[in-house]
Amino acid sequence: MVAEAWAGVDPEWSRTITVHSTSAVDPPGTLRRWHVLDNGAQISRRGLAPAGTLLCVHGNPTWSYLWRTLLAAGSEPGHPWRVVAVDQLDMGYSERTGTFRRLGDRINDLGDLTDALGLDGPVVTVGHDWGGVVSLGWALAHPQNLAGVVLTNTAVHQPSGSGIPPSLRLALHPAVHRWGTTTSDAFLRVTHALARPQLPPEVRRAYMAPYRSSHRRAGVGNFVADIPTDASHPSFPALRGVAEGVRGIRVPVLLLWGPRDPVFSDRYLKDLIGRLPHADVHRFEGAGHLVVEDRDIAAPVFQWLADHAVGTHDGDHAASGAPIPDAGQPTAAEERPGAFRPLWSELDEQAAAPGGDETAVAEMSPAGAVSRLLTWRQLGRSIAELAAGLRDAGVGSGSRVSLMVPPGVDLTVALYACLRLGAVVVVADAGLGARGLSRAVKGAAPDFLIGIDRALAGAAALGWPGRRISVQELPEVRRRILAVEASLAGLARRGAALGPGRPLPDPDPAAPAAVLFTSGSTGPAKGVAYTHRQLSAMRNTVAQTFGIRRGARLVAGFAPFALLGPALGAVSVTPAMDVTAPRTLTARALGDAAAAIEATVVFASPAALRNVLATQDGVGAAGREALERVELLLSAGAPVPEPLLAEVQRLLPRASLHTPYGMTEALPVTDISLEQIQAADVDAAAGTVPGAGNGVCVGLPVHGARVAVVPLAADGSAHGSHPVTEAGVTGEILVSAPHVKHAYDRLWLTQRESSSVPGWHRTGDVGHFDAAGRLWVEGRLAHVVTAPGTVVTPVGAEQAIERLDCVRLAAIAGVGPAGTQVVVAVVETSPRTRTAGPAAPRLAARVREAAREAGVAVSAVLAVPALPTDIRHNAKIDRTRLSRWATRVLVGGRPGKL
């Protein structure tokens, strides 16, 4: 035992063991002294029976201290596991051998140690950094004992076309290597500085403790020197053996990743996923190389062990190589022969029909004329030619293709061409903002990126992954600067020259089809993975709920519906606007687009509708007449106030106005018309329908969907697992439908939480039903205020405040510790206030009274020039940011910028 106190380590765990070495670097008969942190004796003393052993291997320049949270968690009675965290030889508190140990030696060393410890399974290996490679080497050598694999920020292969990370290249440089890794402690300090947030002083001291002299740092330098930079390196064969061997691993695998890692970036995660396609993957956005320090990994690891029944009799099948079950099981209706129709079925039928020479898709110029269009036949041919060209360029089944193309003809052709090939389209729009977009693209790790010039410039500047394809033909110099390999036009010509080739098979309904990113209004945008079955189910739901079928003519001011148009058999036109900035849609542009195709359907977000109304004096006679002929208006993305819809009704007098409720994970979920909204408001005011009021009424579930809630607890959480539909019960909204997402992309923990009620998706929204079965949305679960003795949902009070003529927009936020929060109202005034801060006394009194009538006691009222909203919808308020700002103001700080 090492007699030294380390923060977070129980001294009982520390032990040394003498091991016979069989590694080639050591003479026969050599004994080596190892230090390990091992909770085996502790859990035995407590009378606990461990489910198995976690064999934890650190990297460079850490030591077994890295795994202290797993040791503590494994000692808990609820999930006892023996945890053996090793100090590799020449590292931590293990023996300084005076030898240069290569990768092959280290893998063998670990086997010697486990033989001495008598570990015989079930064993789950856990590795970080180069300890990941060593742990995998052990796993491949001990398949009979292996029950699972956990890896954090590691690598087994250098992806082709990329050099080793600059930080490692610097550490390997002859002028730097010895001084940086051994003579000084610079390498350790730089590594520790990668923690996000910074390591506490006591933790930093513990990491430095075993490496206080250059003699004790010799292993650090040797570890760096043993990194195989090319095939001539002595350790390259061992690394290649591990890299190829892991393809055969069939036990459960968990990859936990910190993407802000200058060493093991997302490209190494992508490589591991390719070798271990059945792995559960979770990227901790914002975490870095020391993800084990940056985030709590102990809870997810033990949740994962329990989910897979690793270490139990039920989990014995895990190591047998049995296939991992598909999570996206079809519904009974979808299992009927012929029930599944690919997303493009209607498009193909239209192209082959007698009306194939009629317009299918068009886009508008700022001057108000059609700038480009394709007939159904031309659209089908363009898709086929581009698909052939893309296939020739290497796009195939499972390839990820990021589409950074504005809605219109080019995006429609590219999207359907990729889907026909079995590629996975990745859609993350500029509405996420520069940082959010970059985070999303890097997280999705596309193989190809198709983009306009601005997107390609961003890819070059920010290092986005993927081979680049331009929308337009680019000058040769520009192509070289942006590293563009081809253009859509060039690929289409290539595809036309190649001819039809072999027919493309219809996709497996359960195969991945798309990754669509959320708006990021309540945290980093999440990638939402859809299968072909679920995309087709979305099309079916929209068609059956709204009656949008062949013959409909759609003006799409919202990207998802612009892409669904051809799938519905509807003629679709994109108005002259920036679809990622809804407020750029003018009444004139909407009228021009409607006139161009004699539109029957319009889809526009609430923010877009506000600007349409603000600019309606600019619409021409033809445009106004076209709008008067529209039969259906759909508006979603945020709550749509009844007064706004009433104004829109005057512009579209024949249209039935609907505001479907949904989300990226399930669109749509419910639907309601203007008349139904007005009826619900009457019911709420009269108090004759139990549950009516206190929120936004979003109507009844759409075709094929079920909706329920999990009741809120007194602390504002919704940890229950029993869905209810009783009137007046507030809880987290759940949805079940054929078109609900397959999973969150590379967010295993988030997906697990969202599907914790079997058969349901937890939306993160809060609401309740009334006695008529209508759903009322009260806000986001994350925005619930936990005041003393009560839980406050924000939307009801916000609506009441927004009825004041001096308030344009309102938000309720909580200030203070959970359970003792005070309710603060932050209002955007009309006319706008010039500075942010406490509201004028008269305004504050009116706001408090309005909130009181809605049943909410407001402690403070603040006024701002503008509330912070998301970029995509210009509507979703960032209440978490508001809470931080309000806290600063209420404790006497300067309001400053919000």
* CATH node for 353-358+373-505: 3.40.50.980
Model confidence at 322: pLDDT above 60: no
Q: Where in the chain is the domain with CATH 3.40.50.1820?
A: 11-320
Rounded Cα distance, 769 and 311, in Å: 43
pLDDT for position 35:
98
pLDDT for position 168:
84
pLDDT for position 300:
98
Model confidence at 329: pLDDT above 50: no
- Band (pLDDT 50/70/90 cuts) for residue 453 is very high
Of the candidate ranges 109-118, 475-484, 802-811, 883-892, the one whose mean pLDDT is the lowest = 883-892
pLDDT for position 327:
36
pLDDT for position 433:
82
Q: Where in the chain is the domain with CATH 3.30.300.30?
A: 783-890
Model confidence at 295: pLDDT above 90: yes
Instruction: Determine how β-strand 359-364 pairs with β-strand 571-574.
Output: parallel
Rounded Cα distance, 527 and 571, in Å: 29
- pLDDT, the chain, mean: 93
Mean pLDDT value across residues 147-168: 88
pLDDT tens digits along 432-451: 888 899 999 999 999 999 99
- Strand order of the β-sheet with 571-574 is 370-375, 359-364, 571-574, 553-556, 601-603, 632-634, 656-658
Question: What radius of gyration do the chain's Cα atoms show?
Answer: 30
Is CATH 3.30.420.40 the classification given to domain 783-890? no
Model confidence at 332: pLDDT above 50: no
Model confidence at 523: pLDDT above 80: no
Phi, psi of 598 (to 5 degrees): 55, 60
Q: Which amino acid is at 882?
A: L
Mean pLDDT value across residues 136-147: 98
* CATH node for 11-320: 3.40.50.1820
Model confidence at 373: pLDDT above 70: yes
pLDDT tens digits along 754-766: 999 999 999 999 9
pLDDT for position 4:
67
Mean pLDDT value across residues 50-70: 98
- Within 10 A of 896 (CB to CB), how many other CB atoms are there? 11
Query: Is the pTM of the predicted complex or chain greater than 0.95?
Result: no
- Could you write out the DSSP letters of every residue in 808-857? EEEEEEEESSTTSPEEEEEEEESSPPSS-EEPPHHHHHHHHHHHHHTT--
pLDDT for position 702:
97
Mean pLDDT value across residues 498-502: 81
Mean pLDDT value across residues 280-308: 97
Q: Where in the chain is the domain with CATH 3.40.50.980?
A: 353-358+373-505
Which string of b and e fits 300-324 if b means at least 16 CB within 10 Å? bbbbbbeebbbbeeebeebbeeeee
Higher pLDDT, 432 or 855: 855
Higher pLDDT, 580 or 386: 386
Give percent of the chain with pLDDT exceeding 90: 84
Contact at 8 Å (CB) between 825 and 801?
yes
